[in-house]
Amino acid sequence: MGKDVIIACDFSSAADVYAFLDKFTGKKPFVKIGMELFYAEGPQIVKDIKARGHKIFLDLKLHDIPNTVKKSMAVLSRLDVDMTNLHAAGTISMMEAALEGLTRPDGTRPLLIAVTQLTSTDQERMENDLLIKEPIDKVVMHYASNAANAGLDGVVCSPLEAGKVHETCGEKFLTVTPGVRFADGDIGDQKRVMTPAEAKKIGSDYIVVGRPITAAEDPVAAYERCVAEFCD
CB 70 within 8 A of CB 40: no
User: What count of Cα atoms within 13 Å lies in the side-chain half-sphere of residue 63?
Assistant: 11
In the complex, minimum distance from the CB of residue 179 to ligand C5P, in angstroms, rounded to a whole number: 6
Count of residues touching ligand C5P (by CB under 6 A) = 14
Site for ligand C5P in 29-48 (CB under 6 A): 34
Nearest Cα to 111, choosing from 68, 59, 63, 161? 59
Residue 211 engages ligand C5P in binding (rule: CB under 6 A): yes
Q: Which residues contact 151 (CB under 8 A, 6 or more apart)?
A: 95, 96, 99
Mark out the alpha helices in the chain (DSSP H runs).
14-21, 35-41, 43-51, 66-78, 92-102, 123-130, 136-149, 159-169, 196-202, 211-214, 219-230
In the complex, minimum distance from the CB of residue 206 to ligand C5P, in angstroms, rounded to a whole number: 11
Q: Given the residues 47, 55, 61, 164, select the one marked as catalytic.
A: 61
Site for ligand C5P in 80-139 (CB under 6 A): 118-119
Site for ligand C5P in 4-23 (CB under 6 A): 8, 10
Nearest Cα to 213, choosing from 56, 9, 3? 9
Residue 153 engages ligand C5P in binding (rule: CB under 6 A): no
Binding segment toward ligand C5P, per CB under 6 A, in 23-31, 48-56, 98-106, 205-213? 205-213
In the complex, minimum distance from the CB of residue 140 to ligand C5P, in angstroms, rounded to a whole number: 11
Binding segment toward ligand C5P, per CB under 6 A, in 63-71, 81-89, 124-132, 210-218? 210-218
How many CB atoms neighbour CB 165 within 10 A?
Answer: 26
Q: Which residues contact 67 (CB under 8 A, 6 or more apart)?
A: 97
In the complex, minimum distance from the CB of residue 145 to ligand C5P, in angstroms, rounded to a whole number: 18
Site for ligand C5P in 162-201 (CB under 6 A): 178-179, 190
Nearer Cβ to ligand C5P (91/190): 190
CB 144 within 8 A of CB 115: no
How many CB atoms neighbour CB 10 within 10 A?
Answer: 18
Binding segment toward ligand C5P, per CB under 6 A, in 105-113, 123-131, 140-148, 206-214? 206-214
Active-site residue flag, 28: no
Residues near ligand C5P (CB under 6 A): 8, 10, 34, 118-119, 156, 178-179, 190, 208-212
